[in-house]
Structure 1
């Protein structure tokens, strides 16, 4: 407590992003926006250790007492990596009798319909770990066959005896009539108190049976390990002295409290699968808006891939995402993985064509230039050979680049192709650019976006190196490199809102749909959302706002359009008809006025805005003189410069070719482009500006 003559204690906020290679830390002053960043190596075996070590080091380095931290939020790839590596709990699945092949049949879609040798997708639950349960509710909710409770418990005992560590339950029509499934989940939890039991309808009551079941399986597979990680993290942060609320970022671009119960930890297991990438998009959008940009393409390039989102005003969301082999229908930020990352290996295919990726050298041994035992040529090695990185000032001096090793790794490739090492490196970079271009153009086309009107926002360790090259290939003139691109996902964890998405199934046409049912459905969801909000630590967030919307399609069609009900519109079938006709006209250019509609789902989204100041304005740099450098561009050796980002005063304009180094990334500005430092610490690159302009 402060006395009458005491100054109030400073308040700080911590954002953390746990990646595969590094754990990023952002410490920001809650009042003036001053930001401090840091990185520590991630610990795959004990990810909480890296977080705690990074937080403790950051607080000590900047003289901040743990009790002065008022907010902690973090994103992670722990759950995602667990799923992709299938490293979670061995999961058993209990289904309605007659549906044991539910996961194997899936949607009967082939990933590549013209590949006669395509291997089928392997479910997360082995066929031997599926058990049928005697029960059946009809589509109208009437009981065809009562739940066989003894058979249910016997099936679970059989699975546990076989070594299953978690259970998922998914019964037919439980999204609309959950009585049997709810009873089954209760019985299983009572009989197996130490076992994770996930009910599909309890987690996400949407009608799509395969996708709904996948949600339960993913939750069961990940929940125990995630709960252990979050529990250890919470305990150790409290022991460190943090007394503030603790949050984790979600796939939908929001955050939720770490203090959760059984059901919410199960939801967290699937709601945080895209935690890190979603936080990065949120951070990029916030900083871009501050710079006056609302149409952007995000480019988060790390060691393995490039994650991108197409933003026109608001953060894009999807209810039809894919997570490796698995569909994800819980709303999430629409992020697509394209192209290659800095660690992607360059190779020749069977036809002698140069390819980059998808295999990556990873963190260990990593690119040859890192000196950790890697010998294969990677995109990073190509950057080194072409001079796009500063070997004397890379990663703030934490990593010494071995240029000789980079040359040696590319020499066999160059000899096979009949090129010099420099030409082979330039070709590797060109191929990576072409791959990103080829995968990004269809995404733009599907959204009807003209890339020339957007700005490319580059972050991640490798994004600012490659951004200008990709922008030129897409005819994008302007690139924005944020003030700390290597830690933007950690900043995004602080910039995200509290957010909760809820759904209920309808499955009725507007000819028979009662307005009272619409009103009741949205009212029930709103009450659930507000109850969730009441369980969160929300003091640092603004008041909650509820958005009502629905999945609607023309009668007889198979694909829905989202229809948002404005706050001042009545929740009636007439409102849905009017709003759907407008949405259908925009999407397809067809007038659907007067058509019969099929309302599949009602949804509610709750958001409470984060109260976070923008980063403080960056002061003038020291303006130390640049150093001489050489780059290889378009097959030519060119004289260039090397600068440190901290040495660029606000409004300084530099002309390419120039390599700008920073502790968390390197920015490459090619010939014919310029870069200007703005007052927020961003670098604004114009890829078409000419020298002297």
Structure 2
């Protein structure tokens, strides 16, 4: 039986977005409600109330996927559980030493990041597993339990276990976990061999410590959410989005929250990939501008992934959709530095108090106040008229800032937008250079509450000729929840060359990883999640023997069966990245990874946003942009013509969840899927 309704909810820093889609892919309802930092589940309940009021029968929802920033905010704000760490004797300072890299190579006085687990809560245990997996020294069980007793007495409620070489032989970690659970069943316990069994002691230990640090809070959140949705009569399976763009059950997410840290931005990229594929556009740069930041990602038919992402001050080794924050958001605050230079962000007004124009107590100007002052936002049409803005408050706070710059309110507003765009450009250009792409070859796909309002200014600065705004752009991350699949990554550290590999060893190891993945999918789907099919992707971290860095290479079954062919593919990849290769050198297989994907039933090809053209006359509004007063057409999406009759900017397209601003120099049309597409005028 097909899914009746799918509900996707994305909890952002400013707004919580909800989207309901039927089994044909038609959007039934989309809404935004203010996020509640102290009780994020309450924003979900508020969204369910609004959905019920709009006529959605929530009892017919049989798939509920949601993403939350609770885990990442817990790490950034350092308000997680009191966490202890057990390590092999001699490795107490593993979180302190890190990688001995300067965060800012131009600053000789930079502060070292405080370790997530303070040193006095790190306990050493006598045990030793060697790199081959053999046991050199048995686990000292008495010493282990004494160390845990001391940690519990110190107030520890969460415990991470990370022993040396546990990625190859987890026996000591498993024994330690069993002993501790028997004595302290109330502790939240996780071990590195279960979280991410890959060589790289610091990253593996840190991932385990992060999981323990946020686990207790995430677990209680999911419990409150599960109890709450049952009270609404919602019987759907509760699923959570993951950093790799996939989904998993909420129960597993509560035990492995480290896999969800970057799930919010990842959901948007998955939805953008879905939109771009339907539109027949293969090369896309996403531009997700919310209340706090702008996130960008590359899509070349498929999203790019990375195992070198960061959350706050901490690297995350677990693979995730490669998303980079490059600038300020709609709620980012404008301010003057010590020498009077205008800055925008990174501090944000958030949802409460929010921008000054929200009339919730905010007294500092934000980019949203700037857009309202310039006439691009309409005071009575924000969130479809459900939330009124106050232009007089925006003007007052902009004037106060402008006095210090010798500018009036309009000039200050334009300066804020210019500085925000310049900040984005300054980070965007070197990012694209590092990825080896020319952004002018790509389409900018904009979403988020503020993305469609600022995307054309960013495109103009960078030199991108084409911008795409999908239907319901302000809730696209919530849509990503409804179109994602079950997906997880499994890793095995190998460290062997093409010469030292045994016959069939590579095939055998990948088969073992795939079996782990298929078992995981079976467990996740056991709760009633229906799947169309299951497939597996294979890749390896490879390097030339003697090097200290790896390249990730995607492998086919043929290349896995013949490691020499895999080596040839590595030479080609190395040549493409560095412009040189060494075909005569020995190639090392450092780590093997298998990605399992359980595909949910696909939507029928029905375009919910392909509305008939509305020929009614456009409104007009006087705006100020680029320091010039000009008249802009004010339209609804259905009033935008097809590709055969594009119309020139300036144009303001007002929608419930966002406002699209097309400045002069661009012409805009609507394609057969309801996407608004703007192109540079010849």
Q: Tell me the residue number matched to 1:374.
A: 362
Q: Tell me the residue number matched to 1:461.
A: 449
The count of residues paired between Structure 1 and Structure 2 equals: 677
SS in 1 for 2:235: coil
CA distance in 1, matches of 2:274, 2:2: 27
Deviations 1:312-368 (A, max 9, x none): 121110011111111101110000001111111112222222111111122222211
Q: Tell me the residue number matched to 1:41.
A: 34
Bigger shift: 288-297 or 236-245? 236-245
Distance apart, 1:664 and its partner CA: 0.6
Distance apart, 1:623 and its partner CA: 4.1
Deviations 1:268-312 (A, max 9, x none): x11111111100000011111111111111111111110110111
SS in 1 for 2:394: helix
Distance 1:47 1:545, change over 3 A: same
Instruction: Give TM-score, length-normalised by structure 1.
Output: 0.94
Bigger shift: 203-212 or 376-385? 376-385
CA distance in 2, matches of 1:65, 1:224: 29
CA distance in 1, matches of 2:71, 2:586: 42
Distance 1:63 1:344, change over 3 A: closer
Q: Tell me the residue number matched to 1:53.
A: 46
Could you tell me whether the CA contact under 8 Å between 1:515 and 1:573 is conserved in 2?
no
Distance 1:152 1:462, change over 3 A: same
Distance 1:191 1:347, change over 3 A: same
CA distance in 2, matches of 1:74, 1:319: 23
Q: Tell me the residue number matched to 2:296.
A: 308
SS in 1 for 2:656: coil
Q: Tell me the residue number matched to 1:678.
A: 671
Bigger shift: 609-618 or 42-51? 609-618
CA distance in 2, matches of 1:119, 1:303: 28
SS in 1 for 2:629: strand
CA distance in 1, matches of 2:25, 2:88: 58
Q: Tell me the residue number matched to 1:124.
A: 116
- Decide which of 384, 392, 395 is 1:404's aligned counterpart: 392
Distance apart, 1:34 and its partner CA: 4.1
CA distance in 2, matches of 1:265, 1:412: 46
Q: Tell me the residue number matched to 1:333.
A: 321
Instruction: Give TM-score, length-normalised by structure 2.
Output: 0.95
Matched, 1:503 2:481: no
Distance 1:35 1:674, change over 3 A: farther
Distance apart, 1:628 and its partner CA: 2.8
CA distance in 2, matches of 1:32, 1:206: 39
Deviations 1:210-247 (A, max 9, x none): 10001111111111221222223233323423333332
Distance apart, 1:539 and its partner CA: 5.2
Could you tell me whether the CA contact under 8 Å between 1:646 and 1:662 is conserved in 2?
no
- Large movers: runs of 4+ above 6 Å: none
Matched, 1:299 2:291: no
Deviations 1:487-524 (A, max 9, x none): 00000001112111000111222222213432321121
Deviations 1:580-601 (A, max 9, x none): 2222222223233232122111
- Decide which of 441, 452, 461 is 2:429's aligned counterpart: 441
Matched, 1:385 2:373: yes
Could you tell me whether the CA contact under 8 Å between 1:56 and 1:240 is conserved in 2?
no
Deviations 1:56-96 (A, max 9, x none): 43145234251x22322111112111111122211011111
RMSD, aligned α-carbons? 2.0
Distance 1:106 1:426, change over 3 A: same
- Decide which of 405, 416, 441 is 2:404's aligned counterpart: 416
Q: Tell me the residue number matched to 2:91.
A: 99
- Decide which of 154, 162, 174 is 1:182's aligned counterpart: 174
Distance apart, 1:142 and its partner CA: 3.6
Q: Tell me the residue number matched to 1:219.
A: 211
In structure 1, stretches of 5+ residues that fail to align are 1-7
Distance 1:675 1:35, change over 3 A: farther
CA distance in 2, matches of 1:608, 1:441: 36
Distance apart, 1:449 and its partner CA: 0.9
Could you tell me whether the CA contact under 8 Å between 2:15 and 2:351 is conserved in 1?
no
Distance apart, 1:566 and its partner CA: 1.0
Could you tell me whether the CA contact under 8 Å between 2:2 and 2:23 is conserved in 1?
no
SS in 2 for 1:544: strand
